[in-house]
Amino acid sequence: MILEGRTLAQQIRAPLQERAESVRQKLGRPICLCALGSSEDYAARLYLQKETDAAKKIGIETHIFDINNYTNADGFCQAVKTLATHAQTDAVLIPRPLPEQLAFSDFANYLNPRQDIDGMSITNAGRLFLCKTWEQIKQLPGFVPCTAMAVMRLLDFHHIDLEGKEAVVIGRSSTVGRPLAHLLSCKNATVKLCHSRTDLPRAVKNADIICSAAGTPGLLKTEWLKKGAVVIDISTNWSNNMLCGDANAQELDAAGIFYSPVPGGVGPVTLAVLLENIVLSGERKI
């Protein structure tokens, strides 16, 4: 079975235009998103354009600043600090990958947690990792990284129960794998967080749910998986001019394994969660 994400994404997006309009009426201005994106990374630029176009469609005012204008961390941190104190900026987005001269740790401290719609700031990350239960996650005043939350929403939408299940997360980035492993554990899954030094065939052998975010096409082999396993493929790789994940969809299909496709799985849900967070950043100003 295919765990598609487009229907859920539509459901999440359906009320957003009306909510954004209601904020506009109460604040006397539209919700404002500022994105600091790289003009030099072609794929990242296209993706950011897709995000800001989707935001504009629901009535969000968007501004894109070129991250490549900052040749060192100091200038970039200053820009993040300026946005953090700008009362009319509701949401700030800093897509990855960052240019070589900039590191995530340089600016994570300066992001205003109220504007930090992708949960990257020290405050939002800290709040997330202090939670132990899903109830606590639901009550967080900040934001959780969108892709990790999108995976949780997709699992919930398809009624994949996590209680007591063995889950494997492949990839330990601070924006995808690490927060996802934590969210799964807050839903009472027992989680293994894997990386490039992990013996993957052994790690996934008994797993009920495998979430793959390694960014390596063909990495996750169908023959490693047990019968009844569920695969959430998060990666977006280009291979032979086609978008694909880490697993081979045809092989998963043939083996009768439930999986989320690339494209059409986690990706559209991530965009919908991002838009929802932008609207929420405005609603919290009322």
Binding positions for ligand NAP, rule: CB under 6 A:
96, 147, 170-173, 175-177, 194-198, 200, 213-216, 219, 234-237, 266-267, 270
For ligand NAP, the closer of residues 35 and 200 by Cβ is 200
The distance of closest approach from Cβ of residue 278 to ligand NAP in the complex, given in angstroms and rounded to an integer, is 15
Q: Using CA atoms, how far apart are residues 43 and 21, in angstroms rounded to an integer?
A: 31
For ligand NAP, the closer of residues 20 and 266 by Cβ is 266
Cα 238 to the center of its chain, rounded Å: 19
The distance of closest approach from Cβ of residue 146 to ligand NAP in the complex, given in angstroms and rounded to an integer, is 7
The distance of closest approach from Cβ of residue 218 to ligand NAP in the complex, given in angstroms and rounded to an integer, is 10
The distance of closest approach from Cβ of residue 95 to ligand NAP in the complex, given in angstroms and rounded to an integer, is 9
Task: Name the residue with tokens 């993957």.
Answer: 200
Of 202, 150, 201, the closest CA to residue 179 belongs to: 150
For ligand NAP, the closer of residues 15 and 201 by Cβ is 201
The distance of closest approach from Cβ of residue 92 to ligand NAP in the complex, given in angstroms and rounded to an integer, is 17
- Would you say 65 and 34 are in contact if contact means Cβ atoms under 8 Å apart? yes
Per-residue CA distances from 10 to 15, 151, 226, 272 (Å): 9, 15, 32, 8
DSSP H or E stretch at residue 209: strand 209-212
For ligand NAP, the closer of residues 236 and 281 by Cβ is 236
By CB neighbour count within 10 A (0-12 exposed, 13-18 middle, 19+ buried), where does 10 fall?
exposed
For ligand NAP, the closer of residues 224 and 258 by Cβ is 224
